[in-house]
Structure 1
Amino acid sequence: MSLFTVLINSPHKEIIYTDQAPKPIGPYSQGVAVNDYEYTSGQIGIDPQTGALADTLEDQTHQVMKNLKAILAVSGLGFDDVINTHIYLTNISDFSTVNEIYSRYMGNATPSRSTVGVASLPKGAFVEIEMIAKKS
């Protein structure tokens, strides 16, 4: 297991990367840390070891949360540090299922959150989640 941060040429901005989350599928970073904040890119249910998208909504949601946990961990952060979450669903009626799984990972953390129904997501995913966290 390898966790590391790649620095870029800015005293206030770090590009976050871990091999414990999927490689970006486009020209973006897994996360960016600026001052005391970390912004994750939206994660879909891709297994970082196989590159495969999970088949079911439930499996995708679990994988998304594992991916986000790994990205936050690079900066020493966890779900308790999350201050805002955006969830995108291709079927808004999946809200309660995703919410139940999300709650298991978030525990007592209750960041502000938006959940939005969208027409489609990359690779045919059912759910995508992004987070903003603040270092204590």
Structure 2
Amino acid sequence: MTIKRSIKTPIQNRVVETGNLVFVGGCIADDTTQSMGPQTQNILTKIEGYLGEVGLDRKAIVAAQIYVTDLSQKKEMDAAWTGFFGDDMPTRATVGVADLGGGAIIEVVVTASRG
């Protein structure tokens, strides 16, 4: 089985492909001073850009893991999430965590499929 790694950062490859699966590592917002809705929108746009670099788009996302430090802002995240995906929402799990570092209040990991 071939594994292809792309978009290297100092600590990870943003995208790793194997078989028909495409994994996008944890993403946080560029501006962590914003509330959860704008941070979610920024993250999802970034993820779609990463997928675009390997020939996919948001419709290829089949699963997501979301880590948040403040579950009281979840409704704001949900609104950004449903607005972004429309009827093509992936499965997901949202987990409350104590700290994501760097002021981030949300981090998203996704798995996409080529078919």
Whether TM exceeds 0.5 here: the answer is yes
2:12 match: secondary structure: coil
Question: In structure 2, what is the equivalent of residue 93 of structure 1?
Answer: 72
Amino acid at match of 1:77: L
Q: How does 1:32-111 map to 2 (within 5 A)?
A: 32-46=16-30, 53-57=31-35, 58-111=37-90
Contact conserved, 1:16 with 1:71, CA < 8 A, in 2?
no
Question: In structure 2, what is the equivalent of residue 31 of structure 1?
Answer: 15
Amino acid at match of 2:49: A
Contact conserved, 1:42 with 1:130, CA < 8 A, in 2?
yes
Q: Kindly report structure 1 stretches of 4+ aligned residues shifted beyond 3 Å.
A: none
Q: Percent identity?
A: 23
Contact conserved, 1:87 with 1:128, CA < 8 A, in 2?
yes
Q: Which runs of 5+ in 2 are unaligned?
A: none
Q: Which runs of 5+ in 1 are unaligned?
A: 1-10, 18-22, 47-52
Q: Does 1:14 align with 2:4?
A: yes
What is the count of residue pairs matched by the alignment?
Answer: 114
Distance between the aligned counterparts of 1:122 and 1:39, measured in 2? 22
